[in-house]
Every structure is written in C-alpha cells, then in structure tokens.
Structure 1
Amino acid sequence: MKKLTTLITTALLSSTLSISAQAEDRMAIVVSTLNNPFFVTMKEGAEQKAQDLGYELLVLDSQNDASKELSNVEDLTIRGVKAILINPTDSDAVSNAIRIANRADIPVITLDRGASRGDVVSHIASDNAQGSKMAAEYIIGKVGERAKVIQLEGIAGTSAARERGEGFMDAIEGTDVELLASQPADFDRTKGLNVMENLLAAHPDVEAVFAQNDEMAFGALRAVQASGKDVTIVGFDGTKDGIAAVERGQLAATIAQQPGMIGELGVETADKVLKGESVDSYIPVPLKVISQETIAE
C-alpha cells in the first residue's frame, strides 16, 4: 500500500512538474519606451494575448536607449525565453541586439518599427507611408490645396519616422502645398512643444501641422494655444488621448493605428512560430483617419 501511494505521489508530482513546465514557457517583449501611451497599449495587448495563450511574458523597457536595448536582449538570452518581440529604439542599432538573439536561436519578431539587419521572423506594423499620405490628404481637404504646413518628425533612424516622412512628402509632391519646415522632435511631447514654439516664431503664417505621432501633436497644440493662432493639427497613432483630443476639437485628426492589436499579433505570431507553423514575413495592421468629421458620422 505504501509503495502504491508512493507511485501515485510520484506520478502526480511528475504530472504537476510537466504542467508547470508548460505554464512557465515564456516569451519577452522589449519596448523602446514605456513613457509613451502608444507603446503602453501595445504592451497591454501583448500581455493579454500571452495570458490567453498560457505564456509568461517578460516586459523590458529600453528607455529609448539602444545600449539599454542591447543589454535587455543579452539578458533575455540567458533567461530561457522562447521568443523575443522587439519594438526597436533605432532600426539600425537594433541589428546588434537581433544578432545576439539569432546566435542564441531565439526567434525575433519586430513590432511597429523594423530592423535594418539581422534575422527577423516577421515584422508587424501599420503601413506608415500610407498613413502619412492619409494625413496629407486630410490636411489638403481641410485647409486647401495651397496649405502652408509644418511637419514634426520622429526619431531619426527609426523606420516609422522614415516611412511617415516619405509618405507625407510623396503625398504633397506635385501639389501647391507649401512645406514651411520639417524638423525632428523625437516622438516626444516636450520636444514637440519646444520645436513648435521656435517654428511658430519663424513661420507665423503656418496653417497646418502634421506631427508624426500624437505625443508631438500635443506638444504642437500647447505651442499653438499659447500663440493664439488658428492652426490645423493632425497627429498619428490614434492613441486614447489623441482620439479624445479630436473629440474635444483640439486636434483636427489622428491617423489611428491599433497598438493593442500589434501587441496581440506579435504574441500570436510567436506562438505559431514556436509550434512550427509558417508565418508571413510582414503582417500589416489596418489604419484609419479619426477626425471630427468621422466621429460625427
């Protein structure tokens, strides 16, 4: 009887350990910064999907520092993660981190921003160029074909800033839109305020601003409000705060990404890769214009 009890206990313990091992399968998401509502929402989407699929998800913040990003990935290679989702701080600099993961045979999926080099299983993002074209078209429709416009650019070296800038410039090329200035504000609200204050002083006749993310749009908004000018401001990302500002009539529009969906799809894609299923090298996430007009519809 004692022997039978021991066998049953051993079997139960073995079963428990097996279930525990499965439950402890973990993946990680390395976010460029958690000091930005867009990336917080992306993280939350990933966390919820990981919970639904039974994974432990480690979350690491690179604080917009490529060296911190590199050390984050180095740390993950010794922590037993099965896959790494990464939202790069810089599309070129992240290549070193990705190569470290490659050498450790850990599959990498990039979110929102791509990587210039390294072996990436899949890239999940909105069509940034198309989104900024939508922003340009909205501004022309709202302000007119001879609109005098300022563009606030994101962090130089990121694929998002490059693609959004290219899309916007392509859209206004051949039109009568006058681009008064295009200057980086690093996707940051405070920098957006400071840059916009200087640009308003240099270009008091500005009629519209395209900010490559909602955070810079809020910075531009504060500068415009302080100046007392009437300027149409269009952001990008469709954050909760951005959409709320459109509803209040403070921003004219925001090009809405779905950061939560980007995070969810990242985990879903990693799960498929770990199960040996094939995945697309690029998975697009739909965009839409959120404006005072579309909200009223």
Structure 2
Amino acid sequence: MKFLRKASGLLIAGLILSACGQQQAENQTPAAANGDTVGLAISTQNNPFFVTLKDGAQAEADKLGLKLVVVDANDDSGKQAAGVDDLLQQNIKVLLINPTDSEAVAASVKRANEAGVPVISIDRSVQGAEVVSHVASDNVAGGKMAAEFIVSKLPSGGEMVELEGIPGSSAARERGEGFHQVMDAQQNIKIVAKQPADFDRTKGLTVMENILQSHPNVKAVFAHNDEMALGAVKALEAAQKNDVIVVGFDATDDAQAAVKAGKMAATIAQKPAEIGQIGVDTAQKVIAGETVESSIPVELELIQQ
C-alpha cells in the first residue's frame, strides 16, 4: 500500500509539473520560444545617449526572449558597413540600425533587404534605401523648440552660434532645419558662426574656443547634441562668459546636471531608452508577422532651469 501511495503521488506531481511547463510554453511569445536574434548596428557607444539607447534595447530584448547582437561603428561609416555585414552572417531576423551617415548606410540596408532581413532605423533615418519602420523623435520639431526657447531668452537680440553634428547624419540635418525655420525669421538675432563639431564634446570645446576668438560677444549657443553643448560650456567658462545661453539636445544625465547647476539653459529630451525599447518591440512584431507603422514617433520634452 505504501508503494502504491508513493507511486500515485509521484504520478500526480509529474502531471502537475507537465501542466505547468505546458502553460509556461503557451505564455511565451513566438520570439521567446525560439530565441530569435536581432542585430543592432549603433553609430557609437562613446556618447552617453547611444549607450542609454542600447541599454533600453537590451532590456526589451531580455524581456521578450530575443538575443540582441550589437556592433559599434565608432562614428565611422566604413566600420558600420563592415559591422552590418558581420550581423548578416549571424542569422539575424531583423536589423536595427542607427546610422552614422544616413546616405552612406543605404548600401548596407540594401544588402540586408537582398538577404531577406527587414530593417528598422532608430533615432537617425536612412536615405536611399527601404526600411520597414523608423523609430525616432521629431528632430525638426526639437530644433524648432530649441530656437523658440532661445528667442524667448533674447528679447533684445544679439549674436549666436550653431554647433552642428556629423555632416550627413539625419539628426544634424533635421535639427538644423527645425532651428532655422524659426531663427532665420528673426531680425535681431544673428547667427555669426555655424560649424560642425561632430556630436563630440572635445570637438565642441575646440570649435567654441576658436569661434570666441572671432566673435567674443556671443549671447547664445545651440548645439545639435548635449556633448557639443557641454564642450561649449567649458570653452565659455574658460573665457569667463558664464551668462551665455547654451541649449543642447538629448537630455543626457550630464546635460541635465548642467541645466540644474545653471551651466546650460536647456536641453531637448529625446528619451533614448524608450527609442531602443520601441525599436526592439517593433522588431519582435515584424518577426511575428505583424504589420507595423512606417514611422513611430517618440515624444520630446524641453528641460530647462
């Protein structure tokens, strides 16, 4: 009798475990069930914004049971092309791409399409090739937001500087476009210098130092990202020009701290973690055969003192 009771107990326990296992399998998404791989070709991880974007993508991939493989271009178009080629050899189901150069990356996107790998662009758009979706903030709207803020802070007008991002990147082009839609209509504010600093803090410092030699009476600076804005702040501090209005873009932790400390006047918040998360979530939907929107906007916010 003891043997029969023991055998019966083991049988019931086995059935319970089997049922639980079956229920867990049914609760998994299609992606989680087979561990599909998604590639992420990112422009650089030397910029905190893109580190946060990648972390948001990784967290969502872990949640969905996807394997995320990341390649870093270090802001080099040739290296990004090689990285995409490497990803295409790893049986990825979807390619997420954050272009270093929006036009140069088109060849890589076309190779992915020819290999049957759908492409989703994130933060920066692709020019000259097809993607199934583009996940990004409205950079044009952000540029306008920055310009309107500067106009409100300079009622008497004055000279100002624009620090541009990497030439050829959609972010630089679109943020500049939105900025000039507002600023070019101003009669009393003059842009005395407009120069690329490649989204880099050190270059932002150097470029701003050089500009101040020719234009010491600058009243405001708009930088296409926070790294350049923070570099400009250093140059202005060294020149003892602490009353210059500096506006950045991205709302990185360092930039928000600078705004709080009064060193920067404002920054445009893009929410990079959310961009990464939505990018991976969209990739999972593509893998599952769902229809996705061709453009998915992520809300902007002005962070100011």
2:239 to 227, 251, 258: 227
2:100 to 89, 92, 95: 89
1:139 to 138, 150, 171: 150
SS across alignment from 1:198: helix
| 1:3 equivalent in structure 2 | none
| CA apart distance, 1:225 | 0.2
| CA apart distance, 1:144 | 2.0
The answer to whether the 8 Å contact 1:42/1:263 transfers is yes
Matched, 1:152 2:163: yes
1:98-137 paired onto structure 2 within 5 Å: 98-137=109-148
The answer to whether the 8 Å contact 1:140/1:147 transfers is no
Runs of 4+ in 1 over 6 A off after TM superposition: none
Letter aligned with residue 108 of structure 2: A
> Unmatched 5+ residue regions in structure 1?
1-11, 293-297
The answer to whether the 8 Å contact 1:243/1:254 transfers is yes
The answer to whether the 8 Å contact 1:23/1:56 transfers is no
1:208 to 207, 211, 220: 220
| 1:255 equivalent in structure 2 | 268
In 2: Cα distance, 1:220 partner to 1:248 partner = 15
The two structures have a TM-score, normalised by structure 2, of 0.88
| CA apart distance, 1:141 | 1.0
Letter aligned with residue 215 of structure 1: E
In 2: Cα distance, 1:188 partner to 1:174 partner = 29
Letter aligned with residue 113 of structure 1: R
In 2: Cα distance, 1:134 partner to 1:21 partner = 40
The answer to whether the 8 Å contact 1:128/1:164 transfers is yes
Q: Paired residues, what number?
A: 279
In 1: Cα distance, 2:32 partner to 2:173 partner = 43
Matched, 1:166 2:177: yes
In 2: Cα distance, 1:59 partner to 1:23 partner = 19
| CA apart distance, 1:23 | 4.4
Matched, 1:178 2:190: yes
SS across alignment from 1:100: helix
1:26 to 18, 37, 51: 37
Letter aligned with residue 203 of structure 1: H
In 2: Cα distance, 1:34 partner to 1:147 partner = 36
> Unmatched 5+ residue regions in structure 2?
1-17, 23-27
- Per-residue CA shift, 1:66-114, capped at 9, x if unaligned? 1111111111111111111010000010001101111110110001111
| CA apart distance, 1:147 | 3.2
Letter aligned with residue 162 of structure 2: Q
Matched, 1:191 2:203: yes
The two structures have a TM-score, normalised by structure 1, of 0.90
SS across alignment from 2:302: strand
| CA apart distance, 1:173 | 2.0
Letter aligned with residue 78 of structure 2: S
| 2:15 equivalent in structure 1 | none
Letter aligned with residue 280 of structure 1: E
| 1:6 equivalent in structure 2 | none
Letter aligned with residue 194 of structure 1: T
| 2:282 equivalent in structure 1 | 269
| 2:74 equivalent in structure 1 | 63
SS across alignment from 2:131: coil
- Per-residue CA shift, 1:35-90, capped at 9, x if unaligned? 00000000000000000111011111011111111111111111111111010000
Q: Which has the larger radius of gyration?
A: 2
1:234-253 paired onto structure 2 within 5 Å: 234-253=247-266
In 2: Cα distance, 1:248 partner to 1:290 partner = 13
- Per-residue CA shift, 1:126-166, capped at 9, x if unaligned? 11111011111111111225132100000000111001111
Letter aligned with residue 260 of structure 1: A
| 1:8 equivalent in structure 2 | none
Q: What is the CA RMSD across the aligned residues, in angstroms?
A: 2.0
Deviates more, 1:141-150 or 1:125-134: 141-150
SS across alignment from 1:207: strand
The answer to whether the 8 Å contact 2:32/2:66 transfers is no
Deviates more, 1:98-107 or 1:167-176: 167-176
| CA apart distance, 1:278 | 0.8
| 1:5 equivalent in structure 2 | none
In 1: Cα distance, 2:107 partner to 2:183 partner = 36
